[in-house]
Amino acid sequence: MSQQPAPSPELTHRTVPSPAGRIHLVEQGTGPLVLLLHGFPESWYSWRHQLPVLAAAGFRAAAIDVRGYGRSSRPGDVAAYRMRELVEDNAAVVHALGERSAVVIGHDWGATIAANSALIRPDVFRAVGLLSVPYTPRGGPRPSEVFAGMGGGEEFYVSRFQEPGRAEAEIEPDVRGWLAGFYAAFSADTMPAPDAPDPHFAGPGATLRERFPGRRPGWLGEAELDFYAGEFERTGMSGALNRYRNMDRDWEDLADFDGAPVTQPSLFLGGSLDASTTWLADAVAAYPTTLPGLVSSHILDGCGHWIQQERPEEVNPILTDWLASLPV
């Protein structure tokens, strides 16, 4: 296995106190604070292409390891990964960095956490950027009921992740191989053809991995895969998977926010080939109601799910232009 890539000397690693215990973050630059939240199964490292660009544009960019990942605390209780807890982690990071407010930007699960951070703590988060996963207000039936009805006779990956230990048993014997396949399954240059079996689902008695491509996407070199695999080989997968295991708790916890819009200035970026974006096309269409502060919305043609890693040359100027447009 090749050595993990050395961080730029301009990057500063630190841990700060939070309700989780500690949150690890990597920051670069000075200026207005921008908090960057990763998704599953990633880490602060998924923002490696954005940190120096945001810093050069005059911002203090801080990419965290979300609770359960990397060097951040990993509580043993599954319920410790509910949305309200993650929102309070984010607010604690802002305050620990000596700031009163921040812009929050998230990808994948990080986008959902970012939107809820803006919704629940508007006193801290003055603007929100969402990558890949659109904002959908709380509402409708319990999420577990929705996911159980998907796929016909096949099992949706979110349902598969619900039982503690089950997904871990598939992933942890070969973390590196599973991650490589998962990243490839949802990258534009390696995802299965539209008429191939969908890797979001597993057939009866099968695993998700059986539908993963055998090729590696262009953005994922040896060094990148080594970094991600090294993190999850060290921590295990349970902390990351526990986010999925709180979706019904979130539905209960956020009842007071049923249908609530996020009103701060906002940005959305999605990929035209990303199911996380295309399946939620109705949510994007509802933005005039659900994101009334939307400043700009972009769908990158031919882009998959890992948007800021697949297409940083397009994502970075969109982010910096939007950030520059925000009142301080």
> What's the count of helices (H) and strands (E) in the chain, helices before strands?
15, 10
pTM for the structure as a whole:
0.96
**How far from 268 is each of 12, 53, 107, 290, 313, CA to CA, in Å?**
28, 19, 10, 12, 16
pLDDT confidence of 9, banded at 50, 70, 90?
low
pLDDT confidence of 328, banded at 50, 70, 90?
confident
Instruction: State yes or no: pLDDT of 21 exceeds 80.
Output: yes
Can you give the pLDDT at residue 5?
43
Cα separation of 174 and 178, whole Å? 6
pLDDT tens digits along 45-71? 999 999 999 999 999 999 999 999 999
pLDDT tens digits along 188-206? 999 999 999 999 999 999 9
Nearest to 41 by CA among 310, 306, 313: 306
pLDDT tens digits along 275-291? 999 999 999 999 999 99
Cα separation of 227 and 140, whole Å? 39
Among the listed residues 38, 107, 200, 305, the single catalytic one is 305
CA atoms within 13 A on the CB side of 103: 25
- Give the tokens for residue 46: 């998924």
The question of whether 305 is a catalytic residue gets the answer yes
CATH class of 12-325: alpha beta
Q: What is the mean pLDDT of residues 238-257?
A: 98
Can you give the pLDDT at residue 153?
87
**How far from 174 is each of 213, 229, 233, 302, CA to CA, in Å?**
15, 9, 9, 30
Amino acid (one-letter) located at 4: Q
Nearest to 325 by CA among 167, 127, 106: 127
Residue showing tokens 């986008």: 111
CA atoms within 13 A on the CB side of 41: 31
Q: How many other CB atoms sit within 10 Å of the CB of residue 43?
A: 26
Among the listed residues 65, 89, 108, 250, the single catalytic one is 108
- How is residue 129 annotated by DSSP? E
Instruction: State yes or no: pLDDT of 8 exceeds 50.
Output: no
Q: Domain-by-domain residue ranges, the chain?
A: 12-325
In terms of Cβ atoms closer than 10 Å to its own Cβ (0-12, 13-18, 19+), residue 49 is middle
Q: What percent of the chain has pLDDT over 70?
A: 97
Q: Is the peptide bond before 19 cis (omega within 30 degrees of 0)?
A: no
Average pLDDT, the chain: 95
Q: What is the mean pLDDT of residues 244-254?
A: 97
**How far from 42 is each of 39, 106, 109, 180, 320, CA to CA, in Å?**
6, 12, 10, 12, 22
The question of whether 108 is a catalytic residue gets the answer yes
Instruction: State yes or no: pLDDT of 2 exceeds 70.
Output: no
Cα separation of 308 and 312, whole Å? 5
